[in-house]
Amino acid sequence: MTALPLVSIVTFLPGIAGLALLLVPRTSASVLRAVSLAVAVLTFVLSLPIYFGFDPEIIGYQFEESRRWMPTFGVSYHVGIDGISLLLVLLTTFLMPLALASAWGSIEDRVKEFVATMLILETGMLGVFVSLDLFLFYVFWEAMLIPMYFVIGVWGGPNRIYAAVKFVLYTMVGSMLMLVAILAVFYQYGAATGRYTFDMPLLVQYVIAPGRAQDLMFLAFALAFAIKVPLFPFHTWLPDAHVEAPTAGSVILAGVLLKMGTYGFLRFCLPLFPDASLRFGPLVFTLAVIGIIYGAWVSTVQPDMKKLVAYSSVSHLGFVMLGIFTLNQQGLVGGLIQMVNHGLSTGALFLMVGMIYERRHSRLIADFGGLWQVIPAFSALFLVVTLSSLGLPGLNGFVGEFLILLGAFQRNPWMAALATTGIIFAAVYMLWMYQRVVFGEVTRDANRRLADLTTREWAVLVPVLALIVWIGVYPSAFTGKTEATIEALISQVQSKTGPSR
């Protein structure tokens, strides 16, 4: 344990820098871009000690900080890291510099506001992952909406306003109901123990009586998270938001924001409402499998690459949900690692679709063909990312999906079998898209003069690809950090639901 409040520094550094940037007078765009990128990189560097200093043997929270904030409400400023949040924090700090760098050439309008909004957004996302106080969590969860709303609504595509408003309203309906459930948990705990607190480590020790109240609270939490994931049938905001958002926004949306939903299930739904989680488990299981297959089918027929990637997220996040609700070691670890994988692979896909869009101002698959002959380096990297997304063994996607299916077979072989078809369809839509875009003859004259990857684009893509291969080849470097926490979570759920399960 270092004396330095590392988690707070990492969390608030980007946001404070963002606010400071808003206050400085307008300066040249490249200075602003460089400063914001430097802040994001610094945040990532500062988050590395958290990763390397994290002791995988310790069950419970590390790098904890706790301060009084609002004693009247039972609210404290309590942050910390455990095996569940560690990888997501790192994923966030890792993706943000890449997203900012990708926007270097594509965002020209109101650059100052853009970089400031992105940095504030980073603080919001990190806050969600590190909060160990339910109130604090909710503050970040809600506050994070607004910067994303601006990113989509101000810097997005032609239909951006519709997409931005839809995104906020969808999320808000879910999170508002969660607020009532949070209050219900708070008062139920307070009435039972005489101590009113939002502190998660205390709240999870409390066993909420199974029954209607717990079911309703679970449903309120689950709705908020399911919308964010998004779990079928709450996914309809996602394609709009992804298609309209600028590339940097899509990367963050797919890479980090969606993970907040699955993280919420892991962090709050399972330990707080174990009985309801078991009760509604089959339902979530079914929806996840429907999402996997539905997302894959709809992806197959998309004419727009960005939309294809967006729907493939629905499918991939279905796998994550499947893994979480297996409630066994393989499934949960697989789900967690799949969150990271999806962040990397889909983030990279959005980055590359964005790069090609910058060159051609089109994302329609039909507008491309034969890119291999024109831009071989791009095509080669695109192939790696495509294969990672469809789960080729040796790359990251395979590890997560394999573990999830392993877990799912123990719970329900039929469902698992159905889910497995999702992997096959993933190969269909990804490879078919790749084939139409990259192979064959150059069909359009506009594509003949496309420039290959620039140095900046190489710099953005190489770190992602390195991680994709690293996780694929040596996954235990990452899964090892989470296993103790996951085991503790499972035994906690089991002890709460009693020996009958």
Partner 1 sequence: MDAIVFPPVLLGPLAPTLVVLAAGAVVLALDLVPRALPREVPAMVALAGMVGALLATLLRWSTPARAFREMVVLDNFALFFNVVICYAGALIVLLSMDYLRRTGAESSEYWALVLFATAGMMLLAAAGDLIVVFLALELMSLSLYVLAGLFKRELASGEAAMKYFLLGAFASSFLLYGIALVYGATGTTNLDRIAAAVAARPREPLFVIGLGLTMVGFGFKISSVPFHMWVPDVYQGAPTSVTALIATGSKAGAFAALIRVLTVTLRGVPPDWALLLWAMAAVTMTVGNVVALAQTNLKRMLAYSSIAHVGYMLVGLVAGGVGGASAVLFYLLTYTFTTAGAFGVITLCERARGEAVETADYTGLARQHPVLAAALGIFLLSLIGIPPLAGFVGKFYVFGAAVRAGYFWLAVIGVLNSAAAAYYYLRIIVYMYMREPEGTATTYASSFAGGLALAIALLAIVVLGVIPAPFVDLAQAAVAPLLR
- The residue (of 165 and 427) whose beta carbon lies closer to partner 1 is 165
Q: Is 226 in the site for partner 1 (CB under 8 A)?
A: no
> Is residue 266 a contact partner of residue 84, using CB atoms and an 8 Å limit?
yes
Determine the residue type at 363. R
Greatest alpha-carbon span in the chain? 74
Secondary structure element (H or E) that encloses residue 166, with its range: helix 160-193
Binding segment (CB under 8 A) for partner 1, from list 1-9, 152-160, 432-440, 485-493: 152-160
Q: Is 465 in the site for partner 1 (CB under 8 A)?
A: no
Binding segment (CB under 8 A) for partner 1, from list 78-86, 139-147, 465-473, 476-484: 139-147
| Rounded least distance, CB 160 to partner 1, Å | 7
Binding segment (CB under 8 A) for partner 1, from list 85-93, 168-176, 240-248, 312-320: 168-176
Among 160, 228, 259, 363, binds partner 1 (CB under 8 A): 160
Q: Is 16 in the site for partner 1 (CB under 8 A)?
A: no
Alpha-carbon distance of 411 to 328, in angstroms, equals: 9
- The residue (of 183 and 488) whose beta carbon lies closer to partner 1 is 183
- The residue (of 38 and 209) whose beta carbon lies closer to partner 1 is 209
| Rounded least distance, CB 55 to partner 1, Å | 32
Q: Is 149 in the site for partner 1 (CB under 8 A)?
A: yes
Burial class (CB in 10 A: 0-12, 13-18, 19+), 428: middle
Determine the residue type at 480. G
Burial class (CB in 10 A: 0-12, 13-18, 19+), 203: buried
Binding segment (CB under 8 A) for partner 1, from list 64-72, 97-105, 236-244, 340-348: 64-72
Gyration radius of the chain's alpha carbons: 22
- Give all strands (DSSP E) within 47-196, no chain letters: 62-70, 75-81
| Rounded least distance, CB 148 to partner 1, Å | 12
Q: How far is CA 203 from CA 265, 293, 490, in A?
A: 15, 37, 17
Provide the β-strand partners of residue 68.
Answer: 76
Residues 170-199 touching partner 1, rule: CB under 8 A, are: 172-173, 176-177, 179-180, 183-184, 186-187
Site string for partner 1, 86-125 (x = CB under 8 A): ----------------------------------------
Q: Is 268 in the site for partner 1 (CB under 8 A)?
A: no
Q: Is 20 in the site for partner 1 (CB under 8 A)?
A: no
Residues 373-392 touching partner 1, rule: CB under 8 A, are: none
Alpha-carbon distance of 488 to 494, in angstroms, equals: 10
| Rounded least distance, CB 183 to partner 1, Å | 4
- The residue (of 184 and 383) whose beta carbon lies closer to partner 1 is 184
Cis bond leading into 230, ω under 30°?
yes
Among 61, 63, 150, 311, binds partner 1 (CB under 8 A): 150
Determine the residue type at 147. P
| Rounded least distance, CB 69 to partner 1, Å | 7
Q: Is 219 in the site for partner 1 (CB under 8 A)?
A: no
Binding segment (CB under 8 A) for partner 1, from list 70-78, 342-350, 404-412, 458-466: 70-78
Give DSSP secondary structure letters for 434-478. HHHHHSS----GGGGG-----HHHHHHHHHHHHHHHHHHH-THHH
Provide the β-strand partners of residue 364.
Answer: 304
Alpha-carbon distance of 131 to 137, in angstroms, equals: 5
What torsion do the CA atoms of 320, 321, 327, 333 make, to the nearest 10 degrees? 10
Give DSSP secondary structure letters for 44-56. HHHHHHHHHH--T
Residue burial 383-418, b: 16+ Cβ < 10 Å; e: rest: ebbbbbbbbbeebbbbbbbbbbbbbbbebbeebbeb
| Rounded least distance, CB 151 to partner 1, Å | 11
Among 70, 301, 466, 477, binds partner 1 (CB under 8 A): 70
Among 153, 334, 335, 400, binds partner 1 (CB under 8 A): 153
- The residue (of 51 and 196) whose beta carbon lies closer to partner 1 is 196
The whole-angstrom distance between residue 322's C-alpha and the CA centroid of its chain comes to 16
Q: Is 208 in the site for partner 1 (CB under 8 A)?
A: no
Number of residues that bind partner 1 (CB under 8 A): 33
- The residue (of 83 and 174) whose beta carbon lies closer to partner 1 is 174
Alpha-carbon distance of 141 to 421, in angstroms, equals: 34
Which token pair is 329?
């070691």
Alpha-carbon distance of 64 to 56, in angstroms, equals: 15
- The residue (of 59 and 143) whose beta carbon lies closer to partner 1 is 143
Q: Is 154 in the site for partner 1 (CB under 8 A)?
A: yes
Q: Is 161 in the site for partner 1 (CB under 8 A)?
A: yes
Q: Is 146 in the site for partner 1 (CB under 8 A)?
A: yes
The whole-angstrom distance between residue 181's C-alpha and the CA centroid of its chain comes to 23
Q: Name the site residues for partner 1 (rule: CB under 8 A).
A: 69-73, 135, 138-140, 142-143, 145-146, 149-150, 153-154, 160-161, 164-165, 168-169, 172-173, 176-177, 179-180, 183-184, 186-187
